[in-house]
Structures are given as C-alpha cells and as structure tokens.
C-alpha cells in the first residue's frame, strides 16, 4: 500500500543524542546513532520500500524536556527546529515537522511555537511529557496556570500538540523498583503520558480552549480502554474537579491517536470504537520501531478498506493540512 503518512518519527541532533542511546551493546548504540541522525539516506530508502510517502519528524525524547535550565532548553530548541526546517526544505514532498518547545519557560515556548509554525512552516508541536526545571524533583505539567498563554497560542494557530512519552522523574518511580523491565516504553511511558492527558482533561483545559487537538501515541497510552471508568468514577466522586463536561466528551472531541509501536488489530478496533475512525493516525515510532513491521501490519490487518485508507493517510492530510499527492 503506497501513500502512507507516518506521524511519530524521530530524529536527533548532537545536543539531544544521549537521550536516544538507551542501549547496552555498542553495536546497538552505533546502529541507533546512525538511524536517528540520518534523514535522507537509509530513512528514505526504507520509506520507499514500504510505501511511506511522508514522515512528520520530531525531536527524540526526552530532549528539551529533560534540560532543567530554561535558557539552555530554549537555546537547544531553536537549534533543533532550525536543523529540522533545513532538512525539510530539501524534500518538502517527503517530510513535515513538529516543533520542539521549551516549556520550562512558557513565554519562550509561545515565541518559539509561533516562529516554528509561521516562519518555519511546521504542522504542529511535540512535547516529550512534563518538563524538568531547576527545582530538583519538580515536574512541570501543562495544566499549570502559567501555560494558559501557550494553549491560547496553540488554539489560535490551529495546529495540534503531540503529547509524547517519557519516564516519571526518578523519585516518582518507586512502583518500578526491582522491576526495571517495566520502565520506559514497556509500561512506564504509557502510564505517565495517560496520567498527563487525564490531568489536561480534568483541569478544564478544553473548556477554556475548546478547539485544541492533542495526539497520543501507541493507540492512546491505554486511555481508550480506561476512559469510561475514569469518567464513571469522577462522576460519582468529583471532589471539585474543574472540568465542566464528562471526560469522554473531551477524549472524543479533542484527541487523536496514532498507532505508533502498537501494531495490534484488536487494540486498534477497540480504539476506533471509542474515538471514531477519523481520529486514528498511522505512525511507526522510527527508529525505535521497525518500518517494515508497522507497514506490513497495517496492510494485512483485517479491517475494511475505508478505515485502512483513513488511518494510512486521509486523517493525517486532514489534520495537518498536508499537500500530499
């Protein structure tokens, strides 16, 4: 199947490379370094082999969000966005981009968001979960009041935010002690991202900024399968929750899900049942997942052809207003 558009595909710059190198063997580290720094060689060959017309590129995790110093975070953000914009200019027919932003400084985040969308031509923004700050052990979540201007700017620009994953802060990982296999992408990433998404819903962010659109990867980080119970229990015990609507309404109106790294047809069908066929996007999570596996799965999945086309490209073209052939 040709013409697929993949929306969670990562690159790195030298300043953020360490965050992508969570591998034990030197061979694996060298392979990852080669894959994540490359844009126009191996990546394009794999795209051509597996029918991927376009990739929406984003900076690797945790990158900017793991730089506690706000000034340094903003500096690296501009470097990364300029690098990405330059690479996209070389092949606008094959690549689009998500901006990185330094949420450690809300004013700087707004300024860079506006520059990235209006000057660099990016189609959205991706943040790698909460941001660290100079206060040890403090995580900056984006339901905090100081992020109101950022959400207002995002709504005005009419572009989505991809809420990407990361591990909780080290002092918040007690539940994983003695179980290192549960950290990272296996479990902790999804648990952290879904909790962050729930915070945004519960805090009334979508009441104040009703047209915001948030993308969650990995078929929703478990949210499609928990949203009914979350809404149900909050109704029974609201405890002063600021949100004005049932939480499921926000989920269905303000969220998209990508299939990145979760290539399971039963899981996909359950997500479609919860959020609708127009809100599912194709993604690989390259280079952390394999392009061949993602593409082969979507092409062989026992789903109707209308849904396959929507997931493969049509939903992305609509959301990002892409000029795809």
How do beta strands 161-163 and 214-216 pair?
parallel
User: Could you read off the pLDDT tens digit of each residue along the chain, which spans 325 residues?
Assistant: 999 999 999 999 999 998 887 655 678 888 999 999 999 999 999 999 999 999 999 999 999 999 999 999 999 999 999 999 999 999 999 999 999 999 999 999 999 999 999 999 999 999 999 999 999 999 999 999 999 999 999 999 999 999 999 999 999 999 999 999 999 999 999 999 999 999 999 999 999 999 999 999 999 999 999 999 999 999 999 999 999 999 999 999 999 999 999 999 999 999 999 999 999 999 999 999 999 999 999 999 999 999 999 999 999 999 999 987 6
How far apart are the C-alpha atoms of 276 and 311, rounded to whole Å? 11
Catalytic amino acids? Answer: 285
4-320, superfamily in CATH? Metal-dependent hydrolases (3.20.20.140)
Structure confidence at residue 26 (pLDDT): 74
Q: Do 34 and 45 touch, CB atoms closer than 8 A?
A: no
How far apart are the C-alpha atoms of 303 and 324, rounded to whole Å? 24
Give the pair of three-digit tokens for residue 59.
Answer: 């900076």
The alpha carbon of 103 is separated from its chain's Cα centroid by a whole number of angstroms, namely: 15
| Reduced 3-state DSSP string for 203-242 | CCHHHHCCCCCEEECCCCCCHHHHHHHHHHHHHHCCCCCC
Give the pair of three-digit tokens for residue 321.
Answer: 């207003």
| Predicted structure pTM score | 0.98
The DSSP element (H or E) to which 57 belongs, if any, is: strand 52-59
Structure confidence at residue 325 (pLDDT): 67
Other beta carbons within 10 angstroms of residue 219's beta carbon come to 26
How far apart are the C-alpha atoms of 237 and 24, rounded to whole Å? 46
What are the sequence ranges of the domains in the chain?
4-320
pLDDT tens string 189-198:
999 999 999 9
98 SS3 class: strand
């Amino acid at each position: 199947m040709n013409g697929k558009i993949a929306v969670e595909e990562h690159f790195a710059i030298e300043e953020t490379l360490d965050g992508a190198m969570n591998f034990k063997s030197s061979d694996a580290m060298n392979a990852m370094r080669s894959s994540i720094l490359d844009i126009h060689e191996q990546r394009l060959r794999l795209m051509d082999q597996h029918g991927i017309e376009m990739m929406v590129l984003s900076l690797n995790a945790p990158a900017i969000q793991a730089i506690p110093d706000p000034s340094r975070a903003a500096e690296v953000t501009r470097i990364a966005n300029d690098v990405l914009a330059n690479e996209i200019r070389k092949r606008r027919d094959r690549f689009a981009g998500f901006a990185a932003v330094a949420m450690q400084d809300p004013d700087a985040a707004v300024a860079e968001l506006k520059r990235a969308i209006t000057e660099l031509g990016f189609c959205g923004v991706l943040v790698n979960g909460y941001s660290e700050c100079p206060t040890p052990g403090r995580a900056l979540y984006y339901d905090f009041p100081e992020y109101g201007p950022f959400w207002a700017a995002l709504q005005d620009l009419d572009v989505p935010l991809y809420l990407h994953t990361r591990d909780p802060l080290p002092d918040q990982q007690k539940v994983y002690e003695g179980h290192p296999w549960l950290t990272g992408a296996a479990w902790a990433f999804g648990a952290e991202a879904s909790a962050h998404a729930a915070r945004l819903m519960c805090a009334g962010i979508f009441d104040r900024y009703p047209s915001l659109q948030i993308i969650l990867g990995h078929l929703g980080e478990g949210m499609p399968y928990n949203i009914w119970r979350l809404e149900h229990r909050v109704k029974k015990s609201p405890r002063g929750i600021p949100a004005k609507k049932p939480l499921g309404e926000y989920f269905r109106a303000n969220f998209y899900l990508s299939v990145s790294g979760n290539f399971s047809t039963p899981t996909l069908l359950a997500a479609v049942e919860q959020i609708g066929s127009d809100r599912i996007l194709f993604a690989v999570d390259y280079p952390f997942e394999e392009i061949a596996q993602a593409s082969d799965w979507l092409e062989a999945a026992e789903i109707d052809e209308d849904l396959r086309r929507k997931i493969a490209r049509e939903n992305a073209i609509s959301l990002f207003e892409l000029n795809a052939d």
